[in-house]
Structure 1
Amino acid sequence: MGVDWGKVRIGVAACNAGTTLSYPVETVQAGAQELQRIAALAAEYEPGAIYVGLPLTLSGERQQAAKFVMDKAEALAALVSPLPVRLIDERMSTASASRSLSGAGHRAKQQRRMIDQAAAVEILQRAIEWEARTSSLAGEPVGEGEAS
């Protein structure tokens, strides 16, 4: 399962076991019930791992946005344990999702409703491709590599 965590909306994507294609699932509204909703989606879709996009700067640094996502990912990991929750570099995922939506004929106003799910698809797709190449989980486990 892929998650693009924003302060207003959270995009969620999934893929079927044994496949290499991810698809959009839902946009969760950020707020008091966000963690419970994502945990419920994880229970429904039964993923092998949850990949949360980590918003690094273009130079690869972790700043305020990354800290926000890391805190959310840790809280999610506590809810869904022992399911692995992993952080994956999401640089350019929203830009790539926007290009894909534009290429599919969606205007900017239409994209706002779909962009978070499309970014989650991009995040999950990166993880799937990594796993196919390396036979190991992509990203880093939540709680590791927190040096700024």
Structure 2
Amino acid sequence: MTTDTGPTPTPGGTPLRGVLLGVDVGQARVGLAASDPDGLLATPVETLARDDEHGSDLDRVAAEARERRAVGVVVGLPRSLSGEEGLAAQRARDYARSLQRRLEVPVRLWDERLTTVDAHRALHSSGVPGRRQRSVVDQAAAVLILQAALDARRAGRPPGVPLKQRKPRGPRPATT
């Protein structure tokens, strides 16, 4: 007789099976995607308006994670081609931290270089007109972010990097 102790985690601690959510954080909108329960395929869920004042977008993502019984959330981290992090990356990190405070499942960051460009390209080649693209491009980018994380998870790699808590800033120790 064997005892099932639950899903086997990847090296990063996220179970190999179970729903993951993908989040593409923009200045005005947030794209949301979800995987199937087996973690094979990412599909678009919705586009949310950013709400920096009340956090209703964060509340909606957290509610979606609970409704789907997600085992984790992957937030896209926009980096430059050289790997540098700018203001958009800092906003994504801040968003991920705020989301983590609302959830009991891990929130991880995924390098999302060029996903919005790729999403625009895919929508254009699918015949989606430019005006319509604006309302769905964030969802399409979230799908690309999530699918890459799912593929990594299936290959036994962690689906992104763990969210690090901000270290308090203070004076640096003197070097001798």
Q: Which runs of 5+ in 1 are unaligned?
A: none
In 2: Cα distance, 1:142 partner to 1:3 partner: 14
Question: What is residue 120 of structure 1 aligned with on the other side?
Answer: 142
1:24-76 Cα distance to aligned partner (Å, 9 max, x none) = 00111100211111111111122221000001011111111111110110110
Question: What is residue 137 of structure 1 aligned with on the other side?
Answer: 158
What is the number of residues matched between the two proteins? 144
Are residues 61 and 18 of structure 1, via their aligned partners in 2, closer, same or farther at CA, if it must alter by over 3 Å? Answer: same
Contact 2:32 / 2:139 at 8 angstroms: preserved in 1?
Answer: yes
In 2: Cα distance, 1:127 partner to 1:109 partner: 29
Question: What is residue 68 of structure 1 aligned with on the other side?
Answer: 91
Q: CA deviation at 1:136?
A: 3.6
Question: What is residue 10 of structure 2 aligned with on the other side?
Answer: none
TM-score by length of 2: 0.78
Question: What is residue 91 of structure 1 aligned with on the other side?
Answer: 113
1:64-103 Cα distance to aligned partner (Å, 9 max, x none) = 111111011011011102x010000010111111111112
Q: Which runs of 5+ in 2 are unaligned?
A: 1-20, 168-176
Q: Which moved more, 1:15-24 or 1:71-80?
A: 15-24
Give the secondary-structure state (helix, strand or coil) at the position aligned to 1:17: coil
TM-score by length of 1: 0.92
Between the aligned residues of both structures, percent identity stands at 40
Q: CA deviation at 1:144?
A: 6.1
The structure with more radius of gyration: 2
C-alpha root-mean-square deviation of aligned residues, in Å? 1.5
Are residues 104 and 66 of structure 1, via their aligned partners in 2, closer, same or farther at CA, if it must alter by over 3 Å? Answer: same
In 2: Cα distance, 1:145 partner to 1:78 partner: 13
